[in-house]
């Protein structure tokens, strides 16, 4: 019986990955220091999971302006770069490959992060969700709309963050264009009410995304640049009135004009019965528009992941909770071994508990 394709190597950008299982980006709120820099605990956590074909870092804010949750490790200061260097040294010593996810939360934030000033967005509409602050989860603050010139400055912040990531030792970067954060705040007409060149038509609403892509690619190369999209997302957004047309435009343009390391598409996690404009199966609907390396994410188990790669519908599958609780997930999948259950109480904040103390398969076998 042949080994499933998901355990085969694959060329992604400048790297040959040892398998097609990726660790998805996960906010864990462990950067407990004034600089919001990663620590030795981060190095242990990520290096434990270096058997993944590719590790995608937690979202790393590209600037203080891009921050919306406490204790998230950024990529905009020298202290943060130095912290990430230690993480990457540990990951590379374990023969891992790791990309930095470049993150700007936009309006999904609170005045606490901005010295009492409002967060920024494409609009002045409140996100009406919650963010993690020193006082616990708090309602988002009403944002202010970025001026045209300020939008251009944010594009340059993405450029600088990409440069910082490569300096820190990351093998590439992923632009966070999902989950209701700043990129979606420009893309979706339920949010974007601008009248300048970043608002109005699909082309104009997508302009910010493509300007960010162009800037990052100019800085680090297309073979070290990837993008995460969630076309049927309802987190902190009502999405777009013509969502299928919007994302078909974006993905076809990516396919025709860019040669990304890979594109990651996230499946919806919400009930879409009241949103007929959204694709219920993102991969099935948008996958045919893209010929490059395609990663899928969203509620996959071992069998579903093996099958989607075997059938050629996707080239890679990313996992979040499964990698959180199983640092040796590829080995467990290869052996069809039992999985550790994730402890939800330790997902956000805290220290080593629920972060670096999940047992490896060998440890469980010894105890057994």
Find the angle CA(65)-CA(154)-CA(207) to the nearest 5 degrees: 135
Query: Is the alpha carbon torsion for 357, 360, 364, 367 positive or negative?
Result: negative
β-pairing verdict for 225-229 and 172-177? parallel
Distances (CA, A) of 243 to 167, 194, 205: 37, 18, 12
In this prediction, residue 367 carries a pLDDT of 52
Say what the pLDDT of residue 339 is: 98
Asked if 209 and 151 count as a contact pair (C-beta separation under 8 A), the reply is no
| Cα 40 → chain centroid | 22
Instruction: Please report the pLDDT score of residue 360 as a whole number.
Output: 97
Tell me, yes or no, if 355 is annotated catalytic: no
Nearest to 83 by CA among 180, 165, 176: 165
Among the options 181, 286, 300, 358, which is catalytic? Answer: 181
Q: What is the pLDDT of residues 225-252, one digit of tens each?
A: 999 999 999 999 999 999 999 999 999 9
Those residues of the chain that have pLDDT short of 50 are 366, 368
Strand-pairing partners, residue 101, are 59, 174
Q: State the pLDDT at residue 362.
A: 81
Q: What is the pLDDT of residue 363?
A: 65
CA count, 13 A, side-chain hemisphere, 13: 26
Angle between helices 148-168 and 207-220 (to 10 degrees): 30
**Domains of the chain, CATH where assigned:** 8-295 (3.20.20.70)
What global pTM score does this model have? 0.97
Instruction: Please state, in angstroms and rounded to a whole number, the distance separating the CA atoms of residues 21 and 2.
Output: 18
Q: How far apart are CA 326 and CA 270, in angstroms?
A: 25
CB atoms within 10 A of CB 241: 11
Helices (H), ranges, the chain = 40-48, 78-93, 148-168, 182-187, 202-205, 207-220, 243-257, 282-286, 302-310, 321-325, 329-335, 361-367
């Amino acid at each position: 019986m042949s080994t499933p394709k998901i355990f085969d190597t694959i060329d992604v950008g400048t790297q040959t990955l040892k398998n097609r299982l990726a660790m998805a980006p996960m906010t864990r709120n462990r950067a407990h220091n004034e600089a919001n820099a990663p620590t030795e605990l981060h190095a242990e956590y990520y290096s434990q999971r270096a058997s993944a074909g590719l590790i995608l870092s937690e979202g790393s804010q590209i600037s203080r302006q891009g921050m919306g949750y406490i204790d998230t490790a950024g990529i905009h200061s020298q202290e943060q770069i130095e912290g990430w260097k230690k993480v990457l040294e540990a990951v590379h010593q374990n023969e891992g490959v790791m990309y930095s996810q470049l993150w700007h939360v936009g309006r999904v934030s609170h005045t606490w992060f901005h010295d009492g000033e409002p967060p920024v967005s494409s609009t002045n509409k409140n996100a009406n969700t919650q963010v993690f602050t020193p006082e616990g989860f708090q309602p988002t603050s009403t944002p202010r709309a970025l001026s045209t010139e300020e939008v251009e400055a944010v594009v340059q912040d993405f450029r600088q963050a990409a440069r910082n990531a490569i300096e820190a030792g990351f093998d590439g970067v992923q632009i966070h264009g999902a989950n209701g954060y700043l990129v979606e705040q420009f893309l979706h007409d339920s949010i974007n009410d601008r009248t300048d060149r970043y608002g109005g038509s699909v082309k104009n609403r997508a302009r910010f995304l493509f300007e960010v892509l162009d800037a990052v690619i100019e800085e680090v190369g297309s073979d070290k640049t990837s993008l995460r999209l969630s076309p049927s997302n309802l987190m902190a957004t009502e999405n777009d009135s013509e969502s299928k047309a919007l994302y078909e435009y974006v993905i076809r343009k990516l396919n025709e004009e860019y040669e990304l390391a890979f594109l990651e598409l996230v499946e919806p996690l919400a009930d879409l019965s009241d949103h007929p404009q959204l694709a219920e199966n993102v991969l099935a609907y948008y996958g045919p528009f893209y010929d490059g390396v395609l990663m899928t994410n969203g509620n996959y188990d071992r069998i579903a992941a093996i099958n989607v790669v075997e059938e050629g519908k996707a080239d890679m599958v990313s996992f979040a909770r499964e990698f959180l609780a199983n640092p040796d997930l590829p080995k467990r999948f290869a052996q069809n071994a039992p999985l550790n259950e994730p402890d939800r109480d330790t997902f956000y904040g805290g220290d080593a508990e629920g972060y670096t103390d999940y047992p490896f398969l060998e440890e469980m076998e010894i105890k057994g």
